[in-house]
Structure 1
Amino acid sequence: MSMIERMRPRPGLRVLVTAGASGIGAAITRAFLEAGASVLICDIDADALAAFAGEHPAVTTLRADVSSEAEVDALLDAAAERLGGLDVLVNNAGIAGPTGAIDEIPLEEIRRTLDVDLMGQFLVLRRAAPLLRQSEAGAIINISSVAGRLGYGLRTPYSAAKWGIVGLTASLAKEMGPDGIRVNAILPGVVRGARIEGVIRDRAEASGVSYAAMEAQYLANISLRRMVEPEDVAGMALFLCSPAGANISGQAISVCGNLETI
């Protein structure tokens, strides 16, 4: 096998991507489809699922909220039935959560952020693990954030969840390594798209500055002075599931242009 071939995932991988109908999840899904994988995606947005499936007929879709144990159970049952098993799990689902001081954020918003961003990954993992143990190329990619290695004022629920994902990843890599399953986290930075636009807008309002000023502040904190594209994160996901990534496990890998602070 040439080095170029080693950089590509083998065709036929059975892949589950949570929140795969838009943003980073959609970019990862497209990348795996292009690599010849069979892909099942879930999303909480039924309209987004329908639109994505219309553009990519090969994908299998199911509406699911990863914070619901019953819906996650149905999702993994669908993976076993429709894909015939599972080789790769991309734990991508998450929400931005609230922006505000710790004593001003409603408790229900804190709980919702932790339920989706952290507990949702646990719920998917506990059901995916038996399927992945039956694979000859088992890999888990948990999507965290640079907020999982840097403190993030006014975004404490989100940052706490993303730090939790890094700890979950490191621990699970030790637990599942003897089964031949690699577990890594990708930590995206400021990723171009609707979500970061909303985050910048909310933070600008909370800080009493304009959107343009807050956007400039975000870019100034990135060494490369540019946002990450969703396809940059997708490229890392493909690499981690390729033969070239066969001995990478337990890592939290930033794709952020070297975000210095947030």
Structure 2
Amino acid sequence: MSQRVLITGGGSGIGKAMAETFAAQGARVLVTDMDQAALDQCPGGWLKEQGDASDPAHMRAVFDRIATEWGGIDVVCANAGIAGPTALVEDVEPEDFRRCMAVNLEGAFLAAKYAALMMKAQKSGVILITSSNAGLYGFPNRAPYASAKWAEIGLMKTLAMELGPYGIRANAIAPGCVEGPRIDGVIEREAKAKGTTPDVIRAGYEAGVSMRSFVTAQDIANMAVFLASDGARLVSGQVIAVDGHTENPDPKV
């Protein structure tokens, strides 16, 4: 039977690459996203729900639909997230910090909360959280994002312990800098804050990666499909970095 897969933040970027890769393996896919226009560009065969992954009512409705249309869930990719502000901690507004924590951390919590109810009943399932290597290191100028990504790893490890006896696995993927509009925006904001150019900031990030390269959304999607497969049947409670081996996340200007 084909896997039944939910991907939050699945309308673009990493989430869309995950959905495409799971679908190519024959999975049934449901994607959620705040951006209706992005959902409209997704393939017609996917189920789609527009809404905020940090909104409990929205996530309850998503899982009600899953129960009605699929009768259960095999894989949940808690992927919805935002970059948050790029600023020194004293310059971060409290509401911006809270919003970053809500979308990244509370969104993952809600996906796991409602998935756990279904997965425990069927005694199987996989929960994958898209964290970041910002959850493995301190990241200057990224206090809200790094805080959320560290917390996601704590959530994942707790899920693995709670749900393992029911045959449910939980893991986190920690991408490095992923090519695309989000990291471009981060680099531009950091360059402005440091009074330099985006090229200098990008070169600094690349210099801290032993493979001297950013990763792609497809790299992350490939890892998600593997972690959801029988080939990873005893991989749980782990943080898998897909980052080309980041040695130093602080770009030197």
- 4+ residue stretches of structure 1 with deviation over 6 A? none
CA distance in 2, matches of 1:259, 1:152: 12
CA contact (8 A) 1:88 1:132 kept: no
Q: CA RMSD in A?
A: 1.0
One-letter amino acid matched to 1:125: A
1:246 aligns with 2:229: no
* Alignment match of 1:95 (pick from 82, 89, 94): 82
TM-fit CA distance, 1:168: 0.8
Structure 2 residue matching 1:93: 3-state secondary structure: coil
Q: Decide whether the 8 Å contact of 1:87 with 1:136 is kept in 2.
A: no
Tell whether the 8 Å contact from 2:7 to 2:32 is kept in structure 1 after alignment: yes
Q: 8 Å contact 1:87–1:135 — kept in the other structure?
A: no
User: In structure 2, how many angstroms separate the alpha carbons of the residues matched to 1:176 and 1:70?
Assistant: 24
1:83 CA drift (Å): 2.5
Counterparts of 1:117 and 1:148 in 2: how far apart (Å)?
12
Q: TM-score, normalised by structure 1?
A: 0.93
1:103-118 correspondence to structure 2 within 5 Å = 103-118=90-105
Query: Is residue 15 from structure 1 mapped to residue 15 from structure 2 by the alignment?
Result: no
Aligned to 2:55: 68
CA offsets 1:142-182 (integer angstroms, 9 cap, x no match): 11000000100110010000000111111110100000000
The CA deviation at 1:255 is 0.2
Q: Any gaps of 5 or more consecutive residues in structure 2? A: none
Q: Distance in 2 between matches of 1:47 and 1:141?
A: 25
Q: What is the aligned residue count? A: 249
Could you report, residue by residue, the CA deviation over 1:189-236 in whole angstroms, capped at 9, with x for unpaired residues?
Answer: 011111111111111111111011111111111110111011111111
2:64 to 45, 56, 77: 77
Taking the TM superposition and a 5 Å limit, the aligned residue runs for 1:1-262 are 12-52=2-42, 56-135=43-122, 137-262=124-249
On the 8 A contact 1:40/1:83 being kept in 2, the answer is: no
Counterpart amino acid of residue 34 in structure 2: I
Q: Which runs of 5+ in 1 are unaligned?
A: 1-10
Q: Could you tell me how far apart the structure 1 residues matched to 2:74 and 2:13 are?
A: 22
Q: TM-score, normalised by structure 2?
A: 0.96
